[in-house]
Amino acid sequence: MPADCDLLADMASLEQLQRENVLLQSRLLTLANIKSNDRLFQFYTNLPNFAVFDAICEYLKSRLRDGSITIRRWRGANVSCRQPPQTTEVHSSIHVSGYSTRLSFEEELFLVLVKLKTGRMNQDLAFTFGISVGLVSELFTTWLYFLAAELRALFEMVDCGPVVDGVPSVYRNISDLRIVIDCTELLLQKPSDLQERKETFSNYKHHETIKFLVGMSPQLYINYISKAWGGRASDKHITLHSNALLSGLAPGAEVMADRGFTVSQELRKLGVRTIIPAFKGRGRPQLTAAECSQSEDVAKARIHIERIIQRIRTFHILGSVVRLNMCDIIEQLFTVCAYLTNFQTPIIQVNEIKPV
């Protein structure tokens, strides 16, 4: 019967289309599609798995539920490389249900993490997530300020007490060590203003840069990120103007740094001791055997802050030259990328860690 044959053919065609639709839907970049694949989830978000992502979401939701914070939409600010502005607060709070009507709270955070890790353009993300380019930009900036504030409050200068079992063996004899510090620089698009060029040109990089001070605890998590500085600022200047860092160091604490951090005298006034490699100086031909041994020990301990900084740079949004129109959010951007590394797997395997 022709009618029955046509009906069967139409049903077969419909089933084929449904199978193709399911296949295409499974290939879309969505939270639901990759949440069960740890390898893909880490590739797109830099978090080890969905369980970590879910825990972060629950913590942020709890902060919104109890009224501790109120997040408001970003409405733009004046661009300046020298003084990043604060969030403009007007109308329309972010609620636990989400910022936009199209995406859930979890999907918004997922979008932000994808942009941080992959560096994808707003037009690309708008097409992928089915929202406007303007909303992507507004959502991303709002979440950056939200995450920067929350992660800073969660990790900044948190004192875990004296060194305990389970930390790297290189810190076993430094019981009062509270932080290991180093500076890192991001290349910056050349400003047209001559004064800004002067403030941002780095003699070390031979390029305009933005500079940050990064601090790591003996437990190998980032516990301090300074504000953004022009590349001209010295390591010493940034350290001595990092008020949250200095106020978080109790008398008797120890700070480990490289030779460029010539802040021993200033920190000694606060009762803080600095641990840096020995200087030969001009009055003698070489270091003593004890100084060489001490410098080698410091180098072995400091290598971990270098590894941490390399992890921050795995967020590809930091991989290219920073555009001038990003100067108003670069401080929040770097802060979020840095503190998110604390949720990754440890930089040292368990078999590398020895008890004190």
* pLDDT for 25: 61
* pLDDT for 290: 73
Only one residue has tokens 């200068």, namely 157
Establish if 161 belongs to a structural domain.
no
Report how far residue 329's alpha carbon sits from residue 228's, in angstroms, rounded to the nearest whole number. 10
Same domain flag for 21 and 74: no
**The whole model's pTM is what?**
0.85
Establish if 132 belongs to a structural domain.
yes
Same domain flag for 215 and 130: no
Same domain flag for 276 and 194: yes
Establish if 163 belongs to a structural domain.
no
Establish if 5 belongs to a structural domain.
yes
Query: What CATH number is given to the structural domain containing 204?
Result: 3.30.420.10
Domain count, the chain: 3
Establish if 162 belongs to a structural domain.
no
Same domain flag for 243 and 200: yes
- Mean pLDDT, consecutive 10-residue segments, the chain of 356 residues? 69 70 68 93 96 96 74 52 37 56 90 96 93 92 93 88 67 85 95 92 93 93 95 95 94 92 93 86 70 79 92 93 90 97 83 46
Same domain flag for 234 and 257: yes
Decide: residue 179, CB within 10 A, 0-12 exposed, 13-18 middle, 19+ buried.
buried
Question: Helix crossing, 38-45 with 50-65: angle to 10°?
Answer: 60
Same domain flag for 128 and 241: no
* pLDDT for 47: 97
Same domain flag for 1 and 80: no
Same domain flag for 199 and 292: yes
* pLDDT for 83: 39
Among the candidates 95, 130, 155, a domain finishes at 155
Report how far residue 331's alpha carbon sits from residue 285's, in angstroms, rounded to the nearest whole number. 43
Same domain flag for 117 and 80: yes
Q: Which domain holds residue 138?
A: 36-155
Establish if 314 belongs to a structural domain.
yes
Same domain flag for 53 and 107: yes
Nearest to 191 by CA among 200, 204, 181, 178: 200
Among the candidates 132, 155, 178, a domain finishes at 155
Establish if 201 belongs to a structural domain.
yes
Same domain flag for 41 and 30: no
Nearest to 167 by CA among 158, 156, 178, 157: 178
Same domain flag for 148 and 232: no
Establish if 11 belongs to a structural domain.
yes
* pLDDT for 214: 97
Among the candidates 97, 127, 155, a domain finishes at 155
